Amino acid sequence: MRIRDIFKKRSFFPETSLPSFTGVFSPELNPTVAACGNKIANTLSVLPLQLYVHTKNGKRKATFNPLFRILENPAYEETSTLFYGTMVRHIIFNGNAYIYKMRAEGQLAGLSLVDPKKVKVTRDSSGKKIFNIEGKAYSSKEILHIPYPGTGYNGTLGKSPAETHRELIDLDNKLLDYINNYFDNSLGSRYALKPGASYNQKADLTKFYAQIMPAYNKFVLGNSNAGKVMIPPPDTELQKLDQPSNVEGELHSLLKMVEAQICLAFNVPPEIIDSTNQKYGSLEQKQNDFLSNCVQPLGDHICKCMETLLEDNWTHSFFIQYEYKNLLTTDTATTIDYLSKEVQSGLMSVNEARAKLGLPDIGEEGDFYWIPGNLIPQTMDTINAIMAKQKVALEDAHNPNGDDK
């Protein structure tokens, strides 16, 4: 069977469920939760996920291994960015991600995400995980399970930070609802419409509300009437009631505190989400904080789980790793200073430095590496010339008394 046909057989994979809007707890609907989850997922989805092999000189990309290409393009229907972004969102919002191992002729051919809401995990008599998906059981050889590594993992299932800190998110939702109601009711500044003498009878008040208020709301109140002349209905008096209160400031302070705690629940520095906070002195410092506290711990956990995709006949010398250096974005001045030092120390060629800045190379002369000091090309001819010069200097300083060192 062709690989394309294998990928098209997705009956085991129900479409990913959308968040429920019918009273069921849906953390994705909270703005701060959504911002944290999207920030983490979007960051990890664009970082290269590579398969490496250990060598005597360190590591190199294992391009010869079939898993290398699968990690680059894991799914037939989704781009790698969509696949990995959805996978991370499953981990963050549901606490678990499940990936079906697609095979062709017994060999791993690709990956397919499974809706975590459709999976029930149990254990067999030997203690191994069994994944029940719409009435069919799958083993760990068929399903790759990536649980959220934070608080709440019970040895079988992960627990999302949104579920762990549900009360905190509920409090934030209540504060947002209160603020919406506060401003919807025009608290702080309201208008009162006083009926005239012709509306003194109680029976007429019902008629007043039925006839006057719709027109008043349409032509007097609302943003669409801002700046327009107010014309009170006949035999009415319009009065503005000021209700001074410091509740706005208190609500804003409380909301900021709660939202900061939600960010920390997701290991996201609050300053990453709140752009008005100027805690960091540079973009590099900001990215480093986000990387070390949030992205790398989760990313390393995902890599270790993904390494179980390595077949039994593949040696332990292989490992999977994210290219985190792509996240270490710096400002232009810092970048140029860093690249200049790399070139001057011989760790990077001019062409490599220009490529980092998105500039074209300058030809073959830009491929040389330079020795610190005199900035001369690091070639064998140069090295031989330097050694010959040192040899001549030693011969000139030769001691005739028999010291041949």
The pLDDT of residue 21 is 36
DSSP state of 370: B
CB of 101 closer than 8 Å to CB of 141:
yes
pLDDT at residue 22, rounded to an integer: 40
State mean pLDDT over 192-205.
Answer: 69
Per-residue pLDDT averaged across 168-187, rounded?
75
pLDDT score for 57 = 75
Residue 12 has pLDDT above 90, yes or no: no
106 Rama sector, left if φ>0, alpha if ψ -120 to 50, beta otherwise:
left
Residue 372: pLDDT band (50, 70, 90) is low
Residue 97, pLDDT score: 95
pTM for this predicted structure = 0.66
- CB-based contacts of 400, cutoff 8 Å, min separation 6: none
Residue 1: the pLDDT is 45
Structure confidence at residue 217 (pLDDT): 76
Q: Considering the chain, what percentage of its residues have pLDDT values greater than 90?
A: 31
Residue 403's pLDDT is 53
Contact 66, 102 (CB under 8 A): no
Q: State the pLDDT at residue 303.
A: 95
282-285: long-range pairs with CB below 8 Å, 24+: 282/330, 282/331, 282/334, 283/329, 283/330, 283/331, 284/328, 284/329, 284/330, 284/331, 284/334
**pLDDT for 190 beyond 80:** no
Of the two residues 248 and 272, the one the predictor is more confident about is 272
The CA-CA-CA angle for residues 289, 292, 293, to 5°, reads 80
User: Please, which pLDDT band fits residue 245 given cuts at 50, 70 and 90?
Assistant: low
DSSP assigned state of 142: T
